Amino acid sequence: MDSTIVAAVEKLKSGGVVVLPTETVYGLAANALDSDAVEKIFKIKGRPHSDPLILHVLNKEWLQRFSEYKAYANRVDKIVEKFWPGPVTVVLQKKNIIPDCVTSNLSTVAIRCPRHEIFRKILKLVNFPLAAPSANPFGYVSPTSVDQVKQTLGDLVNVIVDGGKCDIGLESTIVDLTSETVKVLRPGAITAQKISDAIDEPVIDYSSGVVSVNPKCPGQLKQHYCTNTKLVLFEHGGQPDILTEFSGKAAVIFNKRPLDCADGISGENVQGKDVFWFSETGDRYEIARNMFGLLQNLDNSGYDVIFCEKPEIHGLGVAINDRLLRAAAKFSSKQNEQASI
């Protein structure tokens, strides 16, 4: 067996913290049933204790062990059948076996069943659920590659398992199944419409292009995923307002390769600004996959400002837009106002 997998299993069994790949983003994992181990996650991330963690399980049988499944069996069964293992997290009433620090003293727990083979193998070997937030310092860009993790947490975690670049690149969709009407608390690759179709019920979508302040999801902060470099969004299909906004060293990111860069490479200087794109063609899945990586890369490249085109707010574009609005919120009072609607 791969030696880093063996090292990760040993570390987890002895109450340590490791970085593991998932299909969404890299996670910072510890034994969810061991509050001392979970405390280490909060410390390493600099995460406030008011922000609960997701419990990662191997299958539905584990979900039944850690949550009050029966009250929502109908909804859970349909979601599990359709989307698990995969990027949907369900919020259910918790069982007391889960330490309060995992759930920030809430009566509910968020449970996810990742589909990444390495993560699943490690769950099987340790045979306990893993608490795992994204493997980034609190509030910073989420990691979709080992390089991104090493740049920020490399000195704090010594077992980092490389599972390649994350397939999806955006965190899981979080769905609250405990209320009368199901709610999407965080948009992700599985859209609210897909959830609604799967359970055959209407779904309240807290994520249609605006960032909601929602007490049921304490970690959903207006500002999140933030670069240190100033990030300014511009409209989809438009151009950045560079002259009025700024005159320093600027990077501009488009959703797809712009026409005036037909032969160039991403990063080329065009009329005084370095031009990048998330995707050759504008494919939303490619944009999502490349987004956090490019943002972090440019954050480390000495720019005074990063201008970034908004996505089309449709399908996966809802989740991309959600992340970009939060990432830019700290830099713009206008975007802040939008984000607090």
Q: Which residue ranges make up the site for Mg ion (CB under 5 A)?
A: 134
The binder of 335, among Mg ion, ligand TXA, none, by C-beta within 5 to 8 A per type, is: none
Q: Residue 175, interface with ligand TXA (CB under 6 A)?
A: no
The strand order across the sheet containing 203-205 reads 18-20, 27-31, 130-131, 54-56, 108-112, 88-93, 173-176, 182-186, 203-205
The binder of 91, among ligand TXA, Mg ion, none, by C-beta within 5 to 8 A per type, is: ligand TXA
Binding mask 179-208 for ligand TXA (x = CB under 6 A): ------x-----------------------
Dist CA 229 CA 248 (whole Å): 12
Q: Under rule CB under 6 A, which residues in 89-108 are in contact with ligand TXA?
A: 89, 91, 103, 106, 108
**By C-beta, is 9 or 20 nearer to ligand TXA?**
20
Q: Residue 217, interface with ligand TXA (CB under 6 A)?
A: yes
User: What distance separates the 2 farthest-apart alpha carbons in the chain?
Assistant: 61
The binder of 328, among Mg ion, ligand TXA, none, by C-beta within 5 to 8 A per type, is: none
* Beta carbons within 10 angstroms of residue 262's beta carbon: 7
Minimum gap (Å) between residue 76 Cβ and ligand TXA: 15
* Residue from 18, 63, 161, 174 in contact with ligand TXA (CB under 6 A): 174
The binder of 250, among Mg ion, ligand TXA, none, by C-beta within 5 to 8 A per type, is: none
Minimum gap (Å) between residue 141 Cβ and Mg ion: 10
What is the token pair recorded at 9? 């299993």
Identify the CA nearest to 236 among candidates 286, 309, 299: 309
Q: Residue 112, interface with ligand TXA (CB under 6 A)?
A: yes
Binding footprint of ligand TXA on the chain (CB under 6 A): 22, 24-25, 27, 51-54, 87, 89, 91, 103, 106, 108-110, 112, 114, 132-134, 171-172, 174, 185, 216-220
